[in-house]
Amino acid sequence: MSADQANPRIRVEVETAYLEEQSDPRDQRFVFSYTITIRNDGPVPARLLTRHWIITDANGNIKETRGDGVVGEQPYLKPGQGFRYSSGAVIETPVGTMQGSYQLVGDDGRQFDAPIAPFRLAMPGVLH
């Protein structure tokens, strides 16, 4: 097996939505949902063990969260398989960002991180 074949490749795609009915701008409460698709583009099956999120609002307030799995699950992804889930975040400003990583273990015993690139949480009409 070449070195490239042994490298795990986990792709993370994100979709976000502002939840107006759960938000209260007067109370500095802005609620967003995010839907994540995790896909194993590598050759080795892997299990998602933990997550780490960094959530930053426009005031520079940072919340970090760590936990086991996602939405109560530790999905097992065979090569070519994906897992999709939705969750949410509450911040004090109409705009913010999230980024982080998933920690996985491959069937070969290697643990590795799958980075989650920064993505924007934004109330419609705030950014042009």
In this predicted model, what pLDDT tens digit does every residue of 9-36 receive, in sequence order?
999 999 999 999 999 999 999 999 999 9
Q: What is the mean pLDDT of the chain?
A: 93
- pLDDT for the residue 39: 98
- pLDDT for the residue 125: 86
Q: Is residue 77 part of a domain?
A: yes
In this predicted model, what pLDDT tens digit does every residue of 60-114 receive, in sequence order?
999 999 999 999 999 999 999 999 999 999 999 999 999 999 999 999 999 999 9
Q: Check pLDDT > 90 for residue 8.
A: no
- pLDDT for the residue 6: 55
Q: Check pLDDT > 60 for residue 1.
A: no
Q: Is residue 86 part of a domain?
A: yes
Q: Check pLDDT > 70 for residue 2.
A: no
Question: Residue 55 forms beta bridges with which residues?
Answer: 63, 98
Q: With DSSP H G I counted as helix, E B as strand and the rest as coil, what are the percentages for the chain, rounded to 5?
A: 10, 60, 30
The count of domains in the chain is: 1
CATH number at residue 22: 2.60.40.1470
Q: Is residue 125 part of a domain?
A: no
Q: Check pLDDT > 80 for residue 126.
A: no
Question: Are residues 14 and 42 in contact, defined by beta-carbon separation less than 8 angstroms?
Answer: no
Domain that holds residue 36: 3-120
Residue 26: helix, strand or coil by DSSP? helix
Q: How far apart are CA 53 and CA 99, in angstroms?
A: 6
Residue 93: half-sphere exposure toward Cβ, Cα within 13 Å: 15
